[in-house]
Each structure stands twice: as C-alpha cells, then as structure tokens.
Amino acid sequence: MSSLNFCPKCGDPISTRHDGERERQACVAVGCGFIHFGEFSIGCAGVVTREIDGVTKALLVQRGHNPFAGMWQIPGGYAEHDELLSTAVEREVHEESKVIASVHDVLAFRHSLGGSRGGPATNIYVIFRLNYESGEPAFDGDEISNAGFYSLAEMEHIEGVQGLSKWGIQQALQNEPGTGLSIGAIDERSKAGDWQLFGLSF
C-alpha cells in the first residue's frame, strides 16, 4: 500500500488504526476521520472488429513508449476521475488509432495488485467489445508507433502481440455480441450520465 505522511483532508500527520479487521493508515485528529484505502486506477481497452475481404479482423496498436515499447495490444488506457468508463474506452480507441467505435458490452475485467511494480496499489482493467463505426487506423508515431486491423492468423506472425489482448479478441470472437455485460439505464441519474450500470441482458 502507498504511504502517506500527512492527511489530505486536514493536514495532520497520518498514523495507523485498526479498522475493518486490518491495520490502515488513518488520521487520528479529532473530527477528521480520514482513512487511506490505498491508490487505485481503472484501465479500459476495446476490442474493435470488422470484416475485411470476408475475414474478421481486430484493431491492434503498437506501443511507442516504455513500458513495453514495441508490443502490440488492443487500444486502451486509463479512465480519468471524471469520466465514465464507456466514454473513456471510446476516447482511448480514437486517440490511439483514429478509429471511431461505440461500446457494445463488457467482455471481461482483470484485477491486479500492482504496487510491487511501482504503479497504483490496485488496478481494475476492463475489456470492452466495441462496434466499429468509421475511420482507418492511423497513429501519431510517438505514443503509438503503428496500428492496423489483423486476423488471429495474421497475429501469429506478428512479434510481440500481448497475450491479454489476444485473449480478449478471442473472447469477442467466441461469444455473441450482447452476451457480456451491457449498459442499462434504470433511473434519471443514469440517463443523465452521472453513472452507469452494467448487467447481463435477458
């Protein structure tokens, strides 16, 4: 878990206290009550497929920066603190490939304890299935050094295709659209865009 020296709420020194059946960093100043639960991040990535000459191909981008420069993966990145996940993944797909695509459903998610590798203490990474809308793959030559649509057979001859990305593509190809978790509107707040609920369709 990341370490804090001072309370971000009141500025007093941080101590520890037993809370929720474990020791946690917390502020013991009277009336504050701040508890530090660690650092978290939410990542998202999109499987975008389209038919090209009768063959289903998936969008891949090649990383230009470390870590993992040169690796090929489905486009994605981190969600901002004020951004819905569906908006984040559509933005990241367009930012990294210039392809416009819209969220269809959630294929899977990964939970990772990454603090030992220098990142946030825990990360949730959500893999979406997106519907291709328009655009041809393009890249900035900096963060992304290449992009294109490739079949699984073609990926076998590309060095450095990320295993998790290939697995996500296989999930999209083996499972019918709509079998994953889909966005559902259940009240006025969700319709207004303040939050989203993902669930199975019946």
User: Could you tell me the residue range of the domain that residue 8 belongs to?
Assistant: 1-38
Q: Using alpha carbons only, what angle is made at residue 196 by residues 130 and 98, rounded to the nearest 5 degrees?
A: 30
Residue 150 and residue 81 in one domain: yes
Q: Using alpha carbons only, what angle is made at residue 54 by residues 48 and 153, rounded to the nearest 5 degrees?
A: 65
Domain count, the chain: 2
Q: What is the pLDDT of residues 112-158, one digit of tens each?
A: 986 555 555 689 999 999 999 999 999 998 999 999 999 999 999 99
Residue 88 and residue 114 in one domain: yes
Q: In a 10 Å sphere around its CB, with 0-12 CB exposed, 13-18 middle and 19+ buried, how is residue 51 labelled?
A: exposed
pTM: 0.87
Tokens 């990320």, residue located: 162
Residue 26 and residue 95 in one domain: no
Residue 29 and residue 53 in one domain: no
Answer yes or no: is 192 within a domain: no
* pLDDT above 90: percentage of residues in the chain: 73
Specify the pLDDT at position 39. 84
Residue 31 and residue 63 in one domain: no
CATH code where residue 105 lies:
3.90.79.10
Specify the pLDDT at position 196. 87
Q: Are the C-beta atoms of residues 165 and 59 closer than 8 Å to each other?
A: no
Residue 91 and residue 166 in one domain: yes
Q: Is 82 helix (H, G, I), strand (E, B) or coil?
A: coil
